[in-house]
Structure 1
């Protein structure tokens, strides 16, 4: 995986979530998700391939790319944040749920009162995982909770890929990549061979070398400026200022999101 010629060291990959099914009211889906809240993430692979960062870009932010086609969204992100986007992947609802089901589910830790029977570990199928990552609560607190759930889900996916031995097999990664990406090629889209390379980096760094952060509710806000500035200069995100603002939980390493 090669970085582009400009915009700082490392490689940046934009993941855009969309509803790939036709019909129905805007923002709704028969699985029960709020499809307007599908994850929008920027992945940064460090120049030395010793660190991977996942930055949540909440669709509720005042960002033009959250409302435009993927190609235009890539351009908007680069223009507003000055972060180069080397590749992008557009993931729709059917491919997301199919990929989770292909892993035979993903186990997450759910919060709740100590005696709540729903508290603790839970294995989610594709439709349940979609509802888990897309459900939104009221105002900024709800946005921050949704971002943290998305981060926990990503950390759980990495754990699942490791325990199932998927990351150790380029063939299995490629098979899963075809489920996620289809036959994507050209115009800056992430390809299956590139996903295999990315999986190799993730396997080497593990959850200890994976960071999760949020750009907050505005791409051009002070929190976003700090996060994107560190990405441009290929610096770690953990250890940034704790004053994250509404909708932006503090950066964490992947190990902090593991189930206890």
Structure 2
């Protein structure tokens, strides 16, 4: 009887042990329950007790636990990936919102009360900007978020830099055409005068009206920067490298501009683009200097060294948005679309040129530039038709070379 009882109790003990282990597995599966180690102890191999067959119920519990653990790992990885993607997208969107929202807007820049015959039709493709650099001869910034003086006051500023920037519909190139400040043109309501006088007399509306009547090209948007912003932008990108092809006198500073490559900070670059009296072609060479500077800045801004360095990129973007003002019809969304559409354009994809010139003259005691009516007619037509690539390929132009005076 005792032997029979002993033989009958051994299976019961094994059943109790299996039930106890199954209970521990169930507790580990419950939220907040004790954590079950992967093995059942040093005496086990692969979860089995030597000499004891594993219970089918325990095998199912163990497999279920492994499946849950695998799902948790996969779910965690997916959550991390999604969070990372959202952070990247969110940061990019914040940057777009932050910087486009910071750009200063100028109200009422477009002319009003203009005869219908003097209003050009929209171009057949792309957009055309009028880029204006104003010389207030003041240390007070007049453009951008940091402006401490109006962008324009009658007689206080002249537009020393005027460029028509045509961005074609394909978003692959950009064409920059400088209008010499001394160009002798018809200024509405003032007769004939130098082009830069239009801004001094009537601010952005009169300058836009003058350029549109001259070219019959619709100006879609205006961008303005003054010399204070010019200096800061140059310094923000760590200065620029500009190559001078021959030694010339330096009227705005001491010494000479020696032939060779110069690394210029903001003050030096300002002297460089203001210079014209010591240059062989005067105002025409100065416009090429302005283009040369713009190209040098773009090269620096778009370089991997700037874009891959968060601190440099932030400083550069801060100064751009602090220094530049645009018309108030250029919304944040339109500005974002413009930036995104031109994201692959590099300075090598840009063509810099002067408007065709017939010669020079003295009128009313002033040295002036005479635009070539025939040459400019073909240029303006190419802008209107968004065929600037064909125009550049088929015409002899006063283009910016690799080096300028």
Fold match by TM threshold 0.5: yes
**Is 1:71 the counterpart of 2:217 in the alignment?**
no
Q: Is the 8 A contact 1:13 1:87 kept in 2?
A: yes
**2:386 aligned with 1:234:** yes
The higher relative CO (CA closer than 8 Å, separation ≥ 6) is in 1
Aligned with 1:42 (options 157, 161, 164): 164
Alpha-carbon spacing, 1:258–1:138, altered in 2? closer, same or farther (3 Å): closer
Q: Residues 145 and 133 (structure 1 numbering): CA distance in 2 closer, same or farther, change over 3 Å?
A: same
Compared with structure 1, are the counterparts of its residues 139 and 127 closer, same or farther at alpha carbon in structure 2 (3 Å cutoff)?
closer
- The SS at the match of 2:393 is coil
Offset of 1:89 from its aligned partner? 1.4
Q: Report whether the alignment pairs 1:13 with 2:129.
A: yes
Aligned residue pairs: how many? 231
- Highest Rg: 1 or 2? 2
The alpha-carbon distance between structure 1 residues 167 and 176, as it changes in their structure 2 partners (threshold 3 A), is farther
CA contact under 8 A between 2:136 and 2:158: conserved in structure 1? no
Contact (CA 8 Å) 2:162, 2:180: kept in 1 or not?
yes
Q: Return the offset for 1:112.
A: 1.9
1:177 aligns with 320
Partners of 1:201 and 1:180 lie apart in 2 by: 22
Give the SS at the match of 2:306: coil
C-alpha offsets along residues 63-88 of structure 1, whole Å, 9 cap, x if unaligned? Answer: 33521211221122112211111110
Q: Is the 8 A contact 1:174 1:196 kept in 2?
A: no
SS of match in other structure, 2:353: strand
Note the C-alpha offset of 1:134.
2.0
Q: Distance in 2 between matches of 1:258 and 1:191?
A: 37
- Aligned partners of 1:96 and 1:85: how far apart in 2? 23
Give the structure-1-normalised TM-score: 0.74
- In the alignment, which of 210, 223, 228 is matched to residue 94 of structure 1? 228
Q: CA deviation at 1:123?
A: 1.1
Provide the rounded CA distance (Å) in 2 between the counterparts of 1:77 and 1:48: 25
**Structure 1 residue runs without a partner (length 5+):** 24-34
Name the CA distance, whole Å, in 1 between partners of 2:211 and 2:308: 30
Contact 1:151 1:257 in 2 (8 A): no
Indicate the SS of the match to 2:299. helix
TM-score in terms of structure 2 length: 0.50
